Amino acid sequence: MTTLTREESEALIQEVLEVYPEKARKDRAKHLMVNDKELESSKKCITSNRKSLPGVMTMRGCAYAGSKGVVWGPIKDVISISHGPIGCGQYSRAGRRAYYVGTTGVDTYGDMCFTSDFQEKDIVFGGDKKLAKLIEELEVLFPLSKGISIQSECPIGLIGDDIEAVAKKKAAEIEKPVVPVRCEGFRGVSQSLGHHIANDSVRDFILSNRDGQPFESTPYDVAILGDYNIGGDAWASRILLEEMGLRVVAQWSGDGTLAEMENTPNVKLNLLHCYRSMNYIARHMEEKYNIPWMEYNFFGPTKIAESLRAIAEHFDDTIKEGAERVIAKYQPMVDEIIAKFKPRLEGKKVMLYIGGLRPRHVVGAYEDLGMEVTGTGYEFAHNDDYDRTIKEMKDATLIYDDATGHELDEFAKALKPDLIGSGIKEKYCFHKMGFPFRQMHSWDYSGPYHGYDGFAVFARDMDMTVNNPCWTKLTPPWKKVVADELKKAA
Amino acid sequence: MANIMIRTNAAGGLVFYLPKRDLEAAIASIEFDTPEKWGGELKLENGGSYYIDPIAKPPRLPISLRARRLGAAED
């Protein structure tokens, strides 16, 4: 457990950069910064959304991962075809632990793998005929599906298949939306562009489908955007909104349906949780349908109360009273959680390296438990994310963009955090180094972490990890060797 | 020429957004800001500047427009 001063943090960054060749060092230096709360804009201190350096280990995904895994995947009644060779589809199948209600294979298809399984001949002669046949077969096998999305893998863009034409023809035949998504993995520098492409395809093929149709609206209609129902997150968020008197028309896209998405243009306010992956569609709806949007944060009681009040500001007094009622209702529960776990977690240091919204959104939840976040970073953020992060983080903390394996290891060794929160690719390295670790992409198969109910689970999980006696029993293999050699020498 | 979107933020200021590059920045100054003539050179807070053809002030923001880049912020 170490707290670094500004000078020490800057020295640490320089030390970590030393192993790189000169050109790489210059490039990586732009992606690392020591936080300065005074700053209004991150632009001058940190560069983001750039191509990862060849030769280093990056934790990023691809555009296909962003589109299929994040935006389209969790929509439960839409069949997402992985168009291309089988690997991408199979390894991303049910990869994100988004919960839903429904019966898989009957009316719900979230964790199934549909793929066109490209072979050499499909690359040589084109795969459009196969795709058309695949859609016909799907219609026979799964007649209850509400629509189909075609998630392109790399070869589709490389050989130039015209999936748009196939989609248009088949959509007319089966009378359901068939959405071609040009999310080939090579597009962009990370999964971030995949989110954007997926948002654009929703905009072009789904959003305006029910324009002009009657809709029984209330003045309290809202939509939850950018909540993927990891471990039931969207449900834990939804009940708070409903308790304060709002009507949640749609969940995008965790436990979401096509009908919900088509009805979203009728809402009065879009609530945006994951800004990075869904701000595009919120911006579009603001322009086309005049629906305002706002970001909110449902991690930890402080931020939840702040967010509930900010949401209520957009509505009349009944909702404002509702917000206060909800906050008051859960206060005893929050007090109990904090009384139980804060003494066990107080003063512990946390290092994060995640994606999307979490590197800044969970900071409040840790602070509610008396913990301190000493370093944070994003895999695929843009500058607007860092603008928001600077305000959330304490002064002189480390911020790293698209960190490499080497950088993370060295930062962890220097910061000596009591807890590291990152993804599955980092999990076992840090386990072996003896650092308490939580996998913060899918809440380490726990959850929910959103809302008051989620905070109870969050606090329990953090306590379970930080205060687990097993961590002191671990010696990393490389340290073991040194110990053995010392014994021999002595 | 690039498609851009201009919207107002919670504080009432103008925000520039370039979807192609996911670039969001506050607008520091706009050349013309009258009901009849609105637009011209946009100076961004990140140091970049863009030009939009002056139009009558749009009744409602956000609005999507075509803009020409005069000087980009350093990448």
* CATH for A284: 3.40.50.1980
> Using the beta-carbon criterion (under 8 Å), do A283 and B17 form an inter-chain contact?
yes
Flag whether residue B43 sits within 8 Å of chain A, measured between CB atoms: no
A1 pLDDT more than 60: no
Burial bucket for residue A239 (CB in 10 Å: 0-12, 13-18, 19+): middle
What confidence tens digit (pLDDT) does each residue in A261-297 have? 999 999 999 999 999 999 999 999 999 999 999 999 9
Residue A276 and residue A315 in one domain: yes
Give the integer Cα–Cα distance in Å for A243 and A214.
26
Please indicate whether, in this complex, the C-beta atoms of B19 and A43 are within 8 angstroms of each other. no
Domain stops at, among A260, A290, A324:
A324
Domain boundary among A176, A205, A234: A205
Instruction: Write down the mean pLDDT value for chain A.
Output: 93
Option in B25, B47, B62 nearest A287 (CB): B62
Are A318 and A349 in a shared domain? no
- With residue A248 as reference, give the H or E element that holds it: strand A247-253
Domain of residue A107, residue span: 63-205
Q: Which residue in chain B has the smallest CA separation from A282?
A: B62
Kindly indicate the confidence band of residue B74, based on its pLDDT and cuts at 50, 70 and 90. Answer: low
B45 to chain A: which residues are within 8 Å by CB?
Answer: 40-41
For residue A143, is the peptide bond before it cis, meaning its omega torsion is within 30 degrees of 0?
A: no
- Determine, for residues A286 and B62 on separate chains, whether the beta-carbon distance falls below 8 Å: yes
Q: How much of chain B exceeds pLDDT 70, in percent?
A: 95
Does position B47 have pLDDT exceeding 90, yes or no? Answer: no
**Boundaries of domain holding B20:** 2-71
Domain count, chain B: 1
Contact by Cβ (8 Å): A59, A191: no
This prediction has a pTM of 0.93
CA distance A286 to chain B (A): 7
- Give the end of a domain, one of A295, A324, A353: A324
Question: Which residues are B64's β-sheet partners?
Answer: B5
**Interchain pair B22, A49: CB under 8 A:** yes
* Catalytic center residues of A: 62, 65, 96, 195
Q: Are residues A174 and A244 in the same domain?
A: no
Tell me which residue has tokens 């009944």: A318
Ramachandran region, residue A55 (left: φ > 0; alpha: ψ -120 to 50; beta: rest): left
Residue A155 located in a structural domain: yes
Residue of A316, A401, A348, A358 whose CA lies nearest to A49: A401
Q: If you average pLDDT over residues A168-188, what whole number do you get?
A: 96
Number of domains in chain A: 3
For an interface test with A, give the residue of B22, B24, B65, B74 to mutate (most A CBs within 10 A). Answer: B22
Q: Can you tell me the ipTM of this complex? A: 0.90
**Contact criterion met (CB below 8 Å) for A260 and A249:** yes
- Residue at A102 is within a domain: yes
Contact assessment for residue A165 and residue A96, using Cβ atoms and an 8 Å cutoff: no
Residue A49: its chain B contacts at CB < 8 A? 22
| Complete DSSP assignment for A386-414 | HHHHHHHSPTT-EEEES--HHHHHHHHHH
Q: Grade residue A17 by pLDDT with cuts at 50, 70 and 90.
A: very high
Domain CATH number, residue B16 = 2.40.50.240
pLDDT above 90: percentage of residues in chain A: 83
Q: Is A283 on the interface with B (CB under 8 A)?
A: yes
